[in-house]
Structure formats: C-alpha cells, structure tokens
Structure 1
Amino acid sequence: MKITNKLMIVFTVFTILLVGIGIFMNQAYLEKYYIYKNERSFLQFQKDIETVYRDNIDEIDTLITDIDNDEDVKILILDKEMNVLHSSYFKNKLKDIVISKNIQNMIKRYHLWQDNGYMYQVLERNKGLPPKIFFTSTISEDVFLVITKSVKGIQESVAVANEFYLASGFVMIVIGIIAVLYLSRKISDPIIKMNHIARDMRNLKFGEKIEITSNDEIGELAISINLLSDKLSNSIRSLQEDIEERKILVRDISHELKTPIAVIKGYVEGLKYNVAEDEQTKEKYYDVIVDECDRINELVKELLELSILEGVSSELQVLQVPIKNLIHESIEKFQHIADMRSVEIRFTGEEDVLTHVDEHLMERVISNLLSNAIKYANSPGYVKINLKEKNQGCELSVFNTGKNIPEESLEQIFNVFYKVDQVRGRDNEGHGIGLAIVKRIMNMHKGTYSVKNESNGVTFTIWIPNLSSKTNLQA
C-alpha cells in the first residue's frame, strides 16, 4: 500500500475517533458536569440571598429577580407553613403559588434532619418533562430558600454540540484528506526518489543524486544517502582498481617465476638425460639451478615482506634514531658490491640528525634506495647520499650517476614489478619490488617519496617526519 493511502486512512480513522470521543464525552458527562457546576452557583446565590434577607430585606425581591433573569433559575422563599414569602416570578400572585406535596415533604425532611447546610439533587419528572435541579436551605429561622432550574437547556446544548461535532468532523475529514494528499506528496515524493536511488545503488549504479529541498529529517536522510552513494561508488571503484592491480600482480608474479622455473626445468632435464657428460658441465648446471632457486627465494621473501607491510596489523615501533647510523650500516652492507662495480659511495650532510621512526623499517628503506642506486650507477660512477633537517623532520636524497628515467615512467617507478632495468635499459636483474616496499614504508610513516632526473643521473628523495616517541601508528 502506498504511503499516501496509509496516511489518508490513518488521518480519517483518527478524526472519526476524535469526533466519536467528543460525542461520547458530551452525552455521558456534560450534563453531570453542568449539574456539578450549578451546585457551586446555587451555594453562592444562597449566601447572597441570606445576606440581603438579614441586612436589607427590602431589596430581596430585586435580588432574586436579577438572579432569575441572569441565570434562568426560579427562586422561592417560604415560611415554615409553606407559604410563599418572596418569589422571582408571580410577584403579585404569591397566594396563588401552590407548593407541591413532594417539595413540601423534601423541605420538611431537610428541616428535620439537617440543622444547617443544604439539599441539592436532581428531580426526575413525569410525562416526558426534563429533570429539574432542586436546591433548598435555610436563610433565617423557619425561613426556607428553594431554587430550581430545568436541565432542558443543557440537554439541548448537548444535542447541539453533538450535531456540531458531526458537522465539524465531516469538514475536518474533507479538509484533512486534501491536506494529507498535499503533505503526503511533499513527504512521499522524496522518499520514492530515495527508494529509486537505493535500488540503483543495489544494482551498483551511483550516477543519480537526490535533490535536497528541505532542512528537516528527510533532507538529512537525502544528504546521508548521497554521501553513502559517493562513498560506495568510491569504495567499489577502489575495489575494482585493487582487483585489477591484484590481477596484474598475479600475472607479474607468474611471469617472474616462469623464467627461473623454465631454466631450472631445462637444466634438471639436462642432468636427467645425461646431456652434461663431464663433471665440470654438471657443476655448471648445478650452479645455475642454485642461482635460479636463490632468485625465486629472494622474490618470495620480497613478496612476503610487501604483503606483511600491506597488512592491517602492521604497526610502527617508533624510537628515537640517529639516521646517520642507519646510513652507515647500509653503506657498510653494500660497499663490496659497489667496489665490484667500481661505484664510489659518498655521504654528505648533517651528522647529528635525530628523528623518531621505526628503526628496522627505515633501515630497509635506506638499504633499498642505496642498493637500487648502486645497481643502476655508471661503472665507473658514484652514489651520493645527502641528509639534512627539513620541515620538522629530515630529508634524505640518494643520487646515482647514469642514464635518466623516461619522464612518462617516473610516476610508475614505485609500483610493484615495475622494473628499473626495463626502463633504464640495464642488464641488472631485479624484481621491481624494492621501490614498492619504500613506498609502503614511507606511507606508513606519513612521509613523502619522489624521484627526478638530473643532468647526469637520477635522484631519489624521501622526507621523514619526526614522529612522537609515544606514537604507535597502525597502517
């Protein structure tokens, strides 16, 4: 069922219920409430009449006449013989007024049983006449006050009120239905639009947006759905890109493993079928197989390291570290390789730079940059490492002499399996993972990394922020 129809049904039922309750309350309680309110009025009349009768009896007729005219009540003042002394009606014919035996008996009973106070009750009447309110009390010794009032007026008021409730209820229903139709359109149209867009989101369509037309809860809901649509769109796009990257990664891993496995298979088959007849040739075969196994092992280790760094549980163990110590350790580690390639390693810069980093991971970054620089430096050539403080952190640059990297490849060089030797035309072997590890570790440190061509070589630069010693960042 549409929300418009639901609102119309709810409003109509609610209006009918209100009208019904109003009619029921009128019918059941209005007359009783009217009688209750009149009791207070009669007591006030009794006090006023008693005061005037005691202090200024000449004004008593005027008073009871005024009360009769204003309040539509009938007032009699009687003596103990039930003779009428004063009346608010038939003023000139007091002797003609006959008090019924029923009222006389009620007054006498009141006089016998109550020394003071009053009697107030509703008297039922015969022949279809409406009930009458009866009030009696004493205003002086052996002088009785009698006040009566018909409830016909209130009965007529109840009937009129019920008719008014029915008429107004009908008008309210008509006006309400028109209002509900208008308001439900105002409310339901945005909801229908949201439902349409939610269905599109379910089908992974995020192009359409909800127009914000109000500042109420529906407007806030529309804003939330638009934001959710944008976030889902970005997340799905990111997921698709990640899936595509994973496909490329699997393809590249397969490619990287294919060559050494093929080489190992070829040499193993050569040994199996006695292609290598002498021991010297066999030793050569064994060396090639071991080298290719080492190559595969190194690739697996680098992939495992990158996978660990990309895991959500990777945390930085931040300590205050002198960066120069990490640089000297890396230089010492790769000095023999540099000597073999006739590459000189130079270190310049500020020696006392201290910063808060993960020592193990930052040593890995420096080692990867230095290893990469030595690998692609001219032979003979040199590698220059420079360290300086910068922007509440430190900047480390590693320059190597040699050929430039094509400009269109500079942004891709930190991607996984993007081989430097393919870009720079070298015969050096590598898996294209080292710089990807640098990228990941620098992102974990909230640092920056870059590469640019120089006139006679290439410079890789990283900026390391000085993390607080209490910081324990989680990637």
Structure 2
Amino acid sequence: MNKSIRYKLLAYMTISILVFAALLLGANTFFAEKYYVKHNKNILIKTTKEIVQIISNLESTSDFQMEDVVYSLNRLEKNIGGSLTIGKMAGPLYYPIYRDIKGMPSKALIVSPFVELGKGNEAFNKKKYISKAMGDTLKSVEVYDKNSFFVITKDPSLRIDTLRYQTRLENDIMILIWIPMAEISESALVSNRFTAIVALVTILITGLWTLYISDKFTRPIKQINATAKRMAELDFSQTLDIASEDEIGQLSQSINFLTHKLKVTIGELNQKNQQLERDIDKGKKIDTMRREFVSNVSHELKTPIFLIQGYAEGLKNNVVTDQEKRSFYCDVIMEEAEKMDAIVKDLLNLSQIESGNMDLNKCDFNIEQLIEDVTKKLEPIFKEKDINIDTKIAVSKMVNGDAIRIEQVIVNYLNNAINHVDSSKKIKVTAEEQNNKVRVSVFNSGQSIPEELLERIWISFYKIDKARTRSYGGTGLGLAIVKAIQQAHGNKYGVFNTEDGVLFWFDIDIGV
C-alpha cells in the first residue's frame, strides 16, 4: 500500500519539479546573458542622455575642463563601472583629460577611438562598414539609429571583451561608452548558480511536502493495517482515532467496535485462566508447605515420642522396680509431653497468623507498662539463671497495635535471649522513637550469629545449633511467629550482631 500510493505520489511530484527546474535552468542558461546585455544597453543609452545634459551648454575645450563638469562625468563613469570618451572624430579628446608632465591639460592628439558610421542611412550598409572598420576584434554589431550603434568587441589594449555604445551629437561631438563584458557574463553565471540552488531547494522542499501530504493521506490506512495486525496477535489495547466521515472513517469505527468486543471477551477468558493458574499454583504451594510441615513436625515430634514410648514401655515391663527410678521415668514422660504440647500450640498459633484468619485487635497502649509486665512474669527465670535484666524506655507516647500479639513478640525475643545468653548474663530491653515509629530492642550478651544465617533464623523449625536447642527445649518456631505477627501489623523487624552479643528489634506504630 505504501509503494502504490505514498511513493508513487512522491515520484510524480519529484519528476514534475525536476522537469520544471530543468526548463528554468535551461532558459536561464541560454537567455540570461542576452537579457543582461540588453539591460546594460539601456543603461548605456540612459547614461548617454545624462552626458548630453551635462555637456549641452559647453562651447569650448576649456569648458570640458571645468571641475564640476569633470566631476559629473567621472561620477557617471564610475556608476556604470566602465569608461567614457568624448571628442570629435578627427579632433582632440575632450574627456578624459590628458595632462602633460607639469600636470597641465594637454592638447596633444591621440589615435581616435571613434568609428565612422559611413555614408547612407541603410542599417545594413552601416553594419557592413562598422565590421570592416573594426576588423577581427568585432564580435557583434547593432545599429541603434543613424548616429548610434552598439558593438561587442575585444579591447586591443586590455584584451577583454567590451560592450560599446557610440553616438554622434548634432554638433559632431562623439560620445563613446563601454563596459566590460566580464561583468555581464559573471552576472549571468551568478544567476545560473542561484537558479540551480533555488531548483535544488525547491526539489527538496517539494519532496518533503509531498512526503507530508502523502503521509497524511495514507496514515489512516496504515493505522487500520497496524490495528489489524495487533488484533491478529490478540492485542486489543489500541483503537483507531480517525475523525473522518468517509468510508475509511466508517471502517475505523467498525474495527474499534470489533476490537472492544474481542477485548472484553478475551479479557474475561484471561481472567478465568489466570484464576485457574493461581488456584493450581496455590494448590501446589499448599501441597509443598504441607509436605514440609509434615516433615518438620515429624522431625520435631520424633524425639519426644521416642522417649515417651521408651520410658512407657520400661514402666509397663517393670524394667525398674525402684520407686525413685519409676518417678524419674514418669517425669521424663511428662516433660516430653509438655514439649510436644508446646510445639503443637506454637504450630497452631503460627498457622492461624500466616493463614490470615487472625483478626488484630489494635488499640493504643503503654509500651513501657507492657515491657514491665513481661519482665515481671519472667523474673523467676532471670533469678534462676542469675541473669541481669536491664530496661531503658525512652518513649512517652502511646503505641498502637494488638497488645496481646506484641506481648508475644517481646516474650519470644526474651526467651530467645535467655536461651542464648553467655556467661556475662546480660540482657537489655530498650524502646525509643525512630522514623515515626517506636523501636523495641532486646539485646543479649553471647555468641554472634553468622552473617549468612541472619535471614534464615526466621524460617520455621530452623535452628543454628540443634543440640543446644534441644537442651533448652526450643521448638524453632518463636522467631517465625515474630515474623508473622510483624508482617500482619505491616511493621519491620530484624537482628544484627554487636561487639559483645546479638540485638533483635521490631517496630510498633505510634498511637493516635
């Protein structure tokens, strides 16, 4: 379509302007110099008339030497860019004025520059006479009237072609004016060059304008073509914006209607397909989580179940008869059952939070009071393990959140600190405002966490030192519960190592 309309139109217009430019350049090449010659002939005639006015009242040779006369003639000579000679056929020259070695006007005669027209009034005879008189230097001659003629001839002294005009006045004074033909030829050449440049610029502008016009004509068709291709690729996002009332405009409206209907229909199909894919992905994810969950729970419950089973079988088979040992067996069974109960409770708690079924009961509360209540509850453990607990609360504002869940976060952080504190026995709880939030931090002295494990400790059942975790009965779910609670609140949490320990932190919203 582009080649059959747009580029054909461009070709037709370009060929037309090339033909026009060629005609213009040819006419300028063949006729410009003749035009300039004719124009300069008119200038010479006009100048001659001005000269006649200047010298009409002059009667003697000395009159021609007056300063104002010489100035006027000199000015005319410079205006035409040529030379002026006034005199008589056989007498002295009146202009230009020749001076002797003393600077005085000289009456010396020079060879006359004038050409006698000959006898008779016939122009043919005058031409023949002039041609014979001027010889080989003559290139063309034109008799203007019975006393005047034009010639183009080569100047014998300057060796340049000149255009000359000679006329005889009634008092037999001869006037000869000539100008170099080089200026005429140069003007014609400049005109030719200018015409060529104009032709090139015209061709360029016409080409660009033709491209613009042809593009304007073919743009609607190209838009329809592009839209049809998009529709073939099931892309219905583009509509046609053609504001014409002809057949192309009606066609664009029909295509827009078809595009809309297809877009709606295929959009509905895509939504259903995406929902199906999400359901399949969700099912796969749930299945993967279920397998991981079963694997982790089985691993965590395997040891207490094994111990309970072993000690229960020992009691059943009367392996021990001593009452003290039987009591020990019973204590082990109860302790492992409590661990299993703790794991199950934490799993149920984590599952409820991660599933999104937990409703947060947000309210404003005093974070300082909450931290104080939690540390009092854990005070027996601090005393039992001889841990030095220090609190520093620099918050005067109320905070907003689910107080029960925030308490759970603090308890999990403190339990984690109790289980990992070193021989320095230092735990520090702080709260301060940061970036329009309240940040609560729990520090414990002890061994640093390897940097590559700082992100993994938030995963359910992940334990850095499984043997040590087993010794204090950890489930590996505490930090995972912290993560779930903070994500439910939309707040940040984290951990980093210090010079002498580890610091866990979390953010809470400031109350209204």
TM-score, normalised by the number of residues in structure 1:
0.51
Q: Deviations over 1:94-123 (max 9, x none)?
A: xxxxxxxxxxxxxxxxxxxxxxxxxxxxxx
Partner of 1:371: 415
Amino acid in the other structure paired with 1:457: G
Q: 2:368–2:393: 8 Å Cα contact kept in structure 1?
A: no
What value does the CA root-mean-square deviation take over the aligned residues? Answer: 3.3
* Partner residue in 2 for 1:293: 337
The equivalent residue for 1:410 is 454
Question: Which amino acid letter does the alignment assign opposite residue 451 of structure 2?
Answer: E
Kindly tell me: are residues 358 and 222 of structure 1, through their superposed partners in 2, closer, same or farther at Cα, counting changes over 3 Å? Answer: same
Q: 1:239 to 1:412 in 2, by over 3 A?
A: farther
Q: Report the alpha carbon displacement of residue 224 of structure 1 after superposing the two structures with TM.
A: 7.5
Q: Which residue of 2 aligns with 1:391?
A: 435
| 458-467 vs 254-263, greater mean Cα deviation | 458-467
Q: Alignment partner for residue 271 of structure 1, among 302, 315, 319?
A: 315
Label 1:383 to 1:212 Cα distance change in 2 as closer, same or farther (>3 A).
Answer: same
**What is aligned with 1:429?**
473
Native 8 Å contact 2:370 2:407 kept in 1: yes
Deviation of the 1:220 alpha carbon = 6.9
Structure 1 counterpart of 2:320, which letter? A
Report matched runs for 1:239-318 at 5 Å. 240-318=284-362
Q: How many residues align?
A: 271
Distance 2:317 2:298 in 1: 27
State the match for 2:426 in structure 1.
382
How many Å separate the matches in 2 of 1:467 and 1:243?
40
**Structure-to-structure mapping, 1:332-347, within 5 angstroms:** 332-347=376-391
1:5-24 equivalences under 5 Å are: none
CA shift in 2, pair 1:252/1:351, >3 Å: same
Q: Please list the CA deviations of residues 2-55 of structure 1 after superposition, one character each: whole Å capped at 9, or x if unmatched.
A: xxxxxxxxxxxxxxxxxxxxxxxxxxxxxxxxxxxxxxxxxxxxxxxxxxxxxx
Distance 2:348 2:499 in 1: 37
Q: Deviations over 1:373-402 (max 9, x none)?
A: 111111332111110112222001111111
Q: Distance in 1 between matches of 2:414 and 2:498?
A: 17
Alpha-carbon separation, structure 2, partners of 1:309 and 1:339: 33
Q: For 1:431 and 1:304, locate their aligned partners in 2 and report how far apart those are by CA, in whole Å.
A: 13
Give the Cα–Cα distance (whole angstroms) in 2 for the partners of residues 239 and 410 of structure 1.
30
> Quick one: distance in 2 between partners of 1:410 and 1:423?
19
Asked whether the equivalents of residues 493 and 505 of structure 2 are also in contact (C-alpha less than 8 Å), the reply is: yes
- TM-score w.r.t. the length of structure 2 is 0.48
Rounded to whole Å, the distance in 2 between the matches of 1:388 and 1:235 is 44
Deviation by residue 1:57-83 (Cα, 9 ceiling, x = unmatched): xxxxxxxxxxxxxxxxxxxxxxxxxxx
Against the structure 1 CA distance between its residues 423 and 388, is the aligned structure 2 distance closer, same or farther, given a 3 Å change threshold? Answer: farther
How is 1:30-49 mapped onto 2 (pairs within 5 angstroms)? none
Shift of 1:362: 1.0
1:413 aligned counterpart, secondary structure? helix
The AA in structure 2 aligned to 1:343 is: I
Which letter does structure 1 place at the counterpart of 2:347?
A: L
SS in 2 for 1:347: strand
Aligned-partner Cα distance in 1 for 2:467–2:318: 40
Matched residue type, 1:269: E
Task: For 1:314 and 1:224, locate their aligned partners in 2 and report how far apart those are by CA, in whole Å.
Answer: 33
Q: Which amino acid aligns with 1:442?
A: Q
How far the C-alpha of 1:303 sits from its partner, in A, is 1.3
Number of the residue aligned with 1:465? 509
User: 1:316-367: CA deviations, max 9, x gaps?
Assistant: 2122101011111111111222222232111113152411111111111111
State the distance in 1 between where 2:391 and 2:425 align: 14
Between the aligned partners of 2:271 and 2:452, the Cα distance in structure 1 is: 35
Check the 8 A contact 2:445/2:502 in 1, yes or no.
yes
Aligned to 2:454, the other structure's residue is in SS state helix
Structure 1 residues 458 and 185: alpha-carbon distance in aligned structure 2, compared to 1, 3 A threshold: closer
Please tell me whether residue 357 in structure 1 is matched to residue 410 in structure 2: no
Distance 2:354 2:406 in 1: 16
In 2, the alpha carbon distance for the partners of 1:384 and 1:269 equals: 46
Q: Distance in 1 between matches of 2:308 and 2:272?
A: 52
**Structure 1 SS opposite 2:389:** strand
Give, as a single letter, the amino acid of the residue that structure 1 aligns with 2:359: E
Q: Is the CA contact (8 Å cut-off) linking 1:348 and 1:386 kept in structure 2?
A: yes
Aligned to 1:88: none
C-alpha distance in 2, partners of 1:453/1:423?
Answer: 22
Report if the CA contact (8 A) 1:349-1:386 is conserved.
yes
Of 357-366 and 336-345, more deviation after overlay is shown by 336-345
Once the 2 structures are TM-superposed, how far is the Cα of residue 212 of structure 1 from its aligned partner?
5.3
- How far the C-alpha of 1:466 sits from its partner, in A, is 2.9
Cα distance between partner residues in 2 of 1:214 and 1:240:
39
Out of 357, 363, 366, the position equivalent to 1:319 is: 363
SS in 1 for 2:419: helix
CA drift of 1:421 comes to: 3.5
1:207-218 to 2 correspondences below 5 Å: 214=239, 216-217=259-260, 218=262
SS in 1 for 2:359: coil
* Residue identity opposite 2:333 in structure 1: I
Structure whose CA Rg is larger: 2
Q: Aligned pair in 2 of structure 1 residues 365, 355: CA closer, same or farther (>3 Å)?
A: same
SS at match of 1:444: helix
Gaps of 5+ in 1: 1-182, 195-209, 469-475
Provide structure 2 residue ranges, at least 5 long, that are not aligned to the other structure: 1-223, 241-258
- CA distance, structure 1, for counterparts of residue 287 and residue 279 of structure 2: 12
State the one-letter code of the partner of 1:379: S
Alpha-carbon distance in 1 for matches of 2:496, 2:275: 34
